[in-house]
Amino acid sequence: MTSPERRAAIVAATLEVMRHKGIAATTVRDVAQRMGTSSGLVHHYFASMDELLAAAFEQAATADLGVTTAAVEALSDPVDRLRAFFATYVRAEQDWAFQLWLDAWAEATRRPTLRQTSQRLNVTWQQVLARCIRDGVAAGVFDCPDPEGAAWRILSLLDGLALQSVAHRVAIDRTAVVSWSAGFAEAELALPAGALGGPPPESAVTAAAAAEATRAAGRGGPRDPG
């Protein structure tokens, strides 16, 4: 392998360990065993475990961001774009990704590099949503005096409900997560009740599927996180 390929392989192995054991329990030894190599090789490419965990977390979170962004950008209607955002944000196969976010937030106080990475990616997610809202306001479809704040509030509710569902296994299914968050967004944006209900247009579904296929190919195909 070239140096970039070796580094990418280390990140991929780390992500697989993180998915099985969680961020806090992942060690250099675990990663080396997953690769069938020595711990020294891992240390050669990454100065600290914090740096390695942040790189693996960023790879997973960025790939998910790409799926949602592709779905949103495939559409022009502001309401359809928000439907696509909600539909792709809470996907059945993404429970492990929400668990990684929960782990990252829990570890952030002890790992500065991971904290900086999760903060930056969280802002990027918020900006995708804020851009949808700003565009809707400009088009006269939404009435929202504070798109930035509205995006944070909507995203925080969506995250909170999704993490309750994934981490605590409470009686909140994905339908409720999306419908409650969409209902809150309707109030924030002065939309009629139920305006954000229903599935996104087929073009968004197709774009998201293409982005997911690219993501899966990049990591060598989907893996069982269990």
Write a three-state SS string for 109-142: CCCHHHHHHHHHHHHHHHHHHHHHHHHHHHCCCC
Distance between CA 100 and CA 61 in Å, rounded? 9
Minimum mean pLDDT among 83-92, 182-191, 206-215: which range? Answer: 206-215
Mean of pLDDT over the chain: 85
Residues 155 and 4: their CA atoms lie apart, in Å, by: 34
Choose among 10, 23, 31: nearest CA to 53.
23
Q: So what's the pLDDT on residue 221?
A: 39
Domains along the sequence of the chain with CATH? 1-46 (1.10.10.60), 48-218 (1.10.357.10)
Q: Looking at this protein, which amino acid is placed at residue 26?
A: T
pLDDT in tens, 105-117: 888 888 999 999 9
The residue ranges of DSSP E strands in 71-152, in sequence order, are: none
Q: What is the pLDDT of residues 45-79, one digit of tens each?
A: 999 999 999 999 998 888 888 888 988 998 999 99
Q: Which residue has the higher pLDDT, 122 or 218?
A: 122
Q: Is the pLDDT of residue 30 over 60?
A: yes
Short-list 160, 125, 129, CA closest to 146: 129
Side-chain half-sphere CA neighbours of 45 within 13 A = 21
Distance CA 68, CA 71 (A): 5
pTM beyond 0.85: no
d(CA 88, CA 178): 10
Name the residue with higher pLDDT: 212 or 54: 54
Residue 134, token pair as written in the block: 């700003």
> 196 near 154, Cβ under 8 Å?
no
3-class DSSP assignment, residue 210: helix
Q: At what angle do helices 78-89 and 202-218 cross, to 10 degrees?
A: 40
